[in-house]
Amino acid sequence: MKKRVYTLYRVSTIGQVEKDDIPMQKEACHEFAERQGWEIVKEFSEKGVSGFKKSAKDRDQLQLLQQAAAAGEFDVLLVFMFDRLGRRDDETPFIVEWFTKQGVEVWSVNEGQQRFDSHVDKLMNYIRYWQASGESIKTSIRTRTRIEQLTEEGHYTGGIVAFGYKRVQKGRLNKKNQAVCDLEINEEEAAVVRLIFQKYVYEGYGAKRICNYLVEHNIMGRNGKNIPNITIGRMIRNKGYTGYLINGNVEKECPELRIIEPEVFEKAQELRDARRREKGEDADSYSPHALLCGKVFCAHCGNRLNITSSGRTRLRADGTVVKEKRYRYSCNFNVRHPGQCDGQSGYGVTTLDAVVESIVCMKFEEILECSKSNLLEEMRRKDLDAAKKEATRWKEEVQTKVDEQDALKKEMIRVIQGTSGLDREMIQQMVNENKEALLTAQTNLADSEKKLKEIEEQNQKAERNCSDLFTWASTYKGASFERRQAILKQFIKEVRVGRDYNIEIVLNVPLDEFEEFKRHAASAGRGKNQKNKSQNPQKVGRCASNAGIVVLDKTAGETISIVPKNAAHAILRC
């Protein structure tokens, strides 16, 4: 009776399938079985399955083979080479041994039968797969290294193409003289990417809201379906949009692939970090009816205030009925725990928004009175000149000590030749002192350069903050509700409101540089105009409120009094 044979063919990549690697294995196995007088009953194929990266429990065909072996359905397991069963030194040897314990002979066309008659057989079985595992590791390292090298050279190395780009052939060939693709901006998709960042950074949209916006405007993804909010979140985090090819830890700047400016991307990351939900934060951070949603806290119990609404019907003099809806910032803790919060149960959205908006507008007016270019120049000079001088001084000191070292070496040669007036002990002492001084100078130079870099980074961040302030100040009054809401979310960290509208506004941006510049750079005439403006609330424009405001500006150290008909007290601080 002929032995029943099951065969297993495997290739690691789809490319090997296309090159007829499996038919080659199949033909060799059939010829071998015919010579042995066996009958091939069933064949199993694994296409594009790595025997090193993929565990046996995740390989469906191998699992079917094990089930058939346990049921006694075949007598011989035949493969082209033993590494077709796997390349994992901690797993494959034991799988081979398992088959033999089930009464199945394991054969390879090239390597013969694997037996387990002695300890030597077991050792040889393990060594075979240990060697195969090592070869896989080496191949993986070589492949990864080459891919990283190509990335460093600015070449696309394959993989999923991010939304906003497309593959194009630009005439580049690989080592096999085959045409390979590079990346290029897909302008149609890039416009959608820019729109997503515009909504996220400048209009305060979150990923879910952007997703809904795109669906409402029939803007679909590459597959003709909507772009999910998870995908939008990944796009917001994708540094590649700033013009980088990224592969693992390797990054290569490619300006021709830039869709989003680095400043916009960095701002998006800052907003993303700031929006991470803290304990007790409201899930709904957006409301089309309240500018300060998610930013208002009860000054008495410290809990975040939620947006609530109530309706009423009003009869006009002409007999028409009008339905009105009023919105409030409500303290749920006050309602649910009577007596534990001595604040009000709620505060009118219209009143509170108007008070805060008036204060913000006055601050923006002060910012616009300053010269942006002069302020930026003042900020650049701050501590930077001293740090540059310090770094230059130590750089010159290092060069001086290096020159002294060269001179001492020449003098040492003359001492050895007997033509110098110095003895060896003296010259050796001078050399040792020079080494210590050079080491000290190099250490101080490294420290000063590090400090200079830190100051430059701080100045760059301060410049970005300053630029944001001027942008917000110049665009706020003419902006839409959504845009003003987004500006306030970035400008204000939180608003604490207490009984009788006692308000404390905590800003989210440092105004130290602005206030310092304003104190010593503002002219007397400008100060006079500023005083007159503070006494005329009507000039605030659209942000003006009927509520009275008494503002203690802790940052500027001055008090602004505006008292129309209501009483309110606000404290502004950073």
Residue 346, beta-bridge partner list: 330
Residues 6+ apart with CB under 8 A from 296: 304, 305, 329, 347, 352, 494, 495, 496, 497
Higher pLDDT, 281 or 322: 322
Please determine, for residue 198, whether its predicted confidence score (pLDDT) is greater than 80.
yes
In the DSSP assignment, the letter for residue 384 is H
pLDDT number for residue 206: 86
pLDDT digits (tens, 9 = 90+) for 128-137: 778 777 777 7
Please determine, for residue 145, whether its predicted confidence score (pLDDT) is greater than 80.
no
pLDDT digits (tens, 9 = 90+) for 303-320: 999 999 888 888 888 888
Q: Which two tokens stand for residue 152?
A: 């460093």
Average pLDDT, the chain: 81
pTM of the predicted protein model: 0.52
Cα dihedral across residues 125, 126, 127, 131: positive or negative? positive
Mean pLDDT value of segment 283-303: 83
Please determine, for residue 541, whether its predicted confidence score (pLDDT) is greater than 50.
no
Stated length of the chain: 574
d(CA 231, CA 235): 6
97-106, 204-213, 442-451, 501-510: the lowest-pLDDT one? 501-510
Among 137, 559, 500, 244, smallest CA distance to 351 is for 500
Task: Kindly list the strands in the beta sheet with 569-573, ordered across the sheet, starting from the edge strand earlier in the chain.
Answer: 296-298, 492-498, 502-507, 569-573, 549-553, 558-562
Rg over alpha carbons for the chain, rounded to the nearest Å, is: 37
pLDDT tier, 58 (very low <50, low <70, confident <90, very high otherwise)? confident
pLDDT number for residue 240: 94
Please determine, for residue 199, whether its predicted confidence score (pLDDT) is greater than 80.
yes
* Percentage above 90 pLDDT, the chain: 35
312: helix, strand or coil: strand
pLDDT number for residue 563: 32
pLDDT number for residue 554: 45
Please determine, for residue 380, whether its predicted confidence score (pLDDT) is greater than 80.
no
Q: Which two tokens stand for residue 512?
A: 């130290």
Helix 424-475, helix 372-381: angle, nearest 10: 160
- Do residues 98 and 85 lie in contact, with contact meaning Cβ atoms separated by under 8 Å? no
Please determine, for residue 299, whether its predicted confidence score (pLDDT) is greater than 90.
yes
| φ, ψ of residue 6 in degrees (nearest 5) | -110, 135
| φ, ψ of residue 490 in degrees (nearest 5) | -85, -35
pLDDT tier, 537 (very low <50, low <70, confident <90, very high otherwise)? very low
Mean pLDDT value of segment 356-379: 80
Q: Which two tokens stand for residue 532?
A: 């007159």
Residues 6+ apart with CB under 8 A from 43: 6, 7, 8, 9, 26
Q: Which helix (H) or strand (E) holds 244?
A: strand 242-247
169-178, 290-299, 544-553: the lowest-pLDDT one? 544-553
pLDDT number for residue 410: 86
pLDDT number for residue 20: 55
pLDDT number for residue 409: 86
Q: Which two tokens stand for residue 110?
A: 């090239």
Mean pLDDT value of segment 261-267: 91
d(CA 114, CA 5): 15
d(CA 105, CA 47): 24
pLDDT number for residue 426: 85
Please determine, for residue 280, whether its predicted confidence score (pLDDT) is greater than 70.
no
pLDDT number for residue 251: 87
d(CA 214, CA 195): 9
Mean pLDDT value of segment 461-479: 84
Please determine, for residue 12, whether its predicted confidence score (pLDDT) is greater than 90.
no
Residue 504, beta-bridge partner list: 496, 571
Residue owning tokens 């503070």: 534
Mean pLDDT value of segment 483-498: 89
Q: Which two tokens stand for residue 406?
A: 């060269």
Catalogue all structural domains in the chain, each as residue range(s) with its CATH number. Answer: 4-149 (3.40.50.1390), 165-274 (3.90.1750.20), 286-574 (no CATH)
